[in-house]
Amino acid sequence: MKPVPLTQQLVDSIREDILSGHYEPHSNLRQDALAEKYGVSRIPVREALLQLEGEGLVSIQPRRGAIVTPLSLLEVDDVFALRLLLEIRLYHASAPKLDAAAIETASEANQRYRDAIANQQHAVLGAINAELHMALYREAPLPTTRQIVAALLQTSQRYTRIQLRTDAALQQSLAEHDQLLQLTRDGNYHAAEALLDEHIRHVWHSLREMISAQSPLHTG
């Protein structure tokens, strides 16, 4: 296995600190402080921050440097409206073509999701959730749409991490995954599409309520 490049290691570490809430919205990410924390020069730190800006987690501003972007209702609505439209389309095109091995791949991801919940490894839930969803869309002959949805799922991770902070939300997401997989195994694709629609809408509406209850600074 090839070693992970230094810049990518920094991207992963800083991203996780943002997603976990260690760096709160509007926090100033000073390059010299990050370089000291990780024991590196400022050059890979600068490259990492530029990549995180491309992911929408950081905004690099004149005279202020890198700022953790605030939670945004506009972004939530944008991302989840697109997810709703595109994920249903991908599932519709993919599900009838999934063989037993493909469904087993999705089931294995779901088991890792279940294990992570049991072990309180919440940091990995977003990535496993994305893996599960994408496993169900793998046979869709729509490569551009799959790429877009993969990017949307990555953007969603910051928000779904917030939404999944309660046991009730975790158990509901797991139950919906279980049901979605069973409907797919049974070939009941119409019901599965309806459930997927409901699954995405539930997370979307829960996030809107949670962010709306916070500071008005987080709404735009």
Please name which of 128, 117, 100, 72 lies closest in space to residue 185, comparing C-alpha atoms: 100
pLDDT for 31-51, tens place per residue? 999 999 988 999 999 999 999
pLDDT for 165-215, tens place per residue? 788 999 999 999 999 999 999 999 999 999 999 999 999 999 998 888 865
What whole-number percentage of the chain has pLDDT above 70? Answer: 96
According to the model, what pLDDT value does residue 64 have? 87
Q: What is the residue type of 44?
A: P
Higher pLDDT, 58 or 213: 58
According to the model, what pLDDT value does residue 2 have? 66
**Mean pLDDT value across the chain:** 90
Domains belonging to the chain, first-starting first, are 6-68 (1.10.10.10), 73-218 (1.20.120.530)
Cβ neighbors of 137 (< 8 A, separation 6 or more) are: 87, 90, 91, 93, 94, 146, 149
Is the pLDDT assigned to residue 218 strictly greater than 60? no
Please name which of 220, 159, 215 lies closest in space to residue 21, comparing C-alpha atoms: 159
According to the model, what pLDDT value does residue 195 have? 98
According to the model, what pLDDT value does residue 172 have? 94
According to the model, what pLDDT value does residue 154 have? 87
Cβ neighbors of 132 (< 8 A, separation 6 or more) are: 106, 109, 110, 113, 177
Higher pLDDT, 100 or 7: 100
Longest dimension (CA), the chain: 58
Check: pTM over 0.75? Answer yes or no: yes
